[in-house]
Each structure stands twice: as structure tokens, then as C-alpha cells.
Amino acid sequence: MAATSPLSEWQLHLARQTIRQGGVIAYPTEGVWGLGCDPWDRQAVERILDLKARPMEKGMILVAGSIDQVRFLLDPLPEELQREATRHWPGPVTCLLPDVLQQTPEWVRGKHSAIAVRVSAHPVVRALCEAAGMPLVSTSCNPAGREPARYPWQVHRYFGDQLERIVPGQLGGNRKPSRIIDIVSGQQLR
């Protein structure tokens, strides 16, 4: 993994350990810095919501390093919806997938019956998800109503020592957060 990862084995070990211990990390994504954690760890997700002053009802995005990491959400869907989602990945497009079996926790899904999912092509994001062995929560690194962090100094200004780890790396080339597409209706939501 280290040969293709922009992160060292030690950096990946520390990030994996932080995530598994319920910590919150900041990391570079395609367009902005993100906050992430284990989506199945309710306390970790609630910490992110508190940091951002974001209501749980809005839901969160799951980011994965490969399509296999979100296969559990794709397999219950009709083939045409699976094709519609996977044609956007890997890449900076978030797809709303119907969570027909309700496999994602309500603290991630929010008040919705669908879950927002992105399979990233960003090398740091992919390495983090592979190291963690799961998709991660991914939300922009900023308090509600503020501009998303585009530089590490902004991450520090927004959250100081409230994060367990800031993963090093560079943003991808996008100037905005990922597009969000509802794969059932085809509507672009962001």
C-alpha cells in the first residue's frame, strides 16, 4: 500500500488507530478539507455534528476507497441504479443511494431513506478508507455557515485541538465540494 499511497505506513497506522478508537480526523479531499470518522461509531459522528453545529437530520456523506466498500448498499438495488451510480465512480460525484435495507445508521442517514455515497479517486481519501477497511464519514471541515477549509491553517483555526488527527496531504483540483446526484430521479442536488 505504501508504494501507491501518498501517506507513509506510519501515517496510515496512526489514522487507522484514531478512527478505530472513535476519533475524528481532518483530511484533504478532491476540493476541500473534510472531517471523517467511523460511520458506525455514533459518538464519533455526534462529535463531528457538534463540531460543525450541524443537525443530525441532514445526514452525512459516506466516502469509500473502492466500489467494493459500498457493495453492501449497491447489491440490493436494481441493476440500472447500480450502473447509474458506478458510472460516476471513482470521482468527485456523490450519489444518493436508496438504503433499501437500512444498512446505514440513522445518525449517518439522518431523516432520509437514502444515503449519500462517494467513491473517491483522491489518493489520500482512498488510502485512508483502505487502511480503515471501511467507508468513512466525509463532511466539509467547517462550522455551519462558514466557508469549507481549503488550507491546513483553516482547519486549525476552525477546530484547533478538538481533532485527534490532521492527516497531511494536498487537495485535489476541484474548487467546490462534490456534486450530489439522486440516482433515482437523476436530479442534481448540489
Closest CA relative to residue 150, chosen from 166, 164, 171: 171
Q: Locate the domains of the chain by residue range.
A: 9-182
Q: How many CB atoms lie within 10 A of CB 160?
A: 8
Q: In what order do the strands lie in the sheet with 179-182?
A: 165-166, 25-28, 33-36, 136-140, 61-64, 114-119, 93-98, 179-182
* Integer Cα distance of 149 and 158 in angstroms: 8
Lowest mean pLDDT among 118-122, 158-162, 176-180, 184-188: 176-180
pLDDT band at 160 (very low <50, low <70, confident <90, very high): confident
Which has the higher per-residue pLDDT, 190 or 46?
46
pTM: 0.92
Q: Domain spanning 9-182: which CATH class is it, in words?
A: alpha beta
pLDDT band at 78 (very low <50, low <70, confident <90, very high): very high
Check pLDDT > 90 for residue 187.
no
Tens of pLDDT, residue by residue over 35-53, are 999 999 999 999 999 999 9
Tens of pLDDT, residue by residue over 86-125, are 999 999 999 999 999 999 999 999 999 999 999 999 999 9
What is the model's pLDDT at position 190?
72
Tens of pLDDT, residue by residue over 65-75, are 999 999 999 99
What is the model's pLDDT at position 186?
84
As a whole number, mean pLDDT of residues 25-30 equals: 96
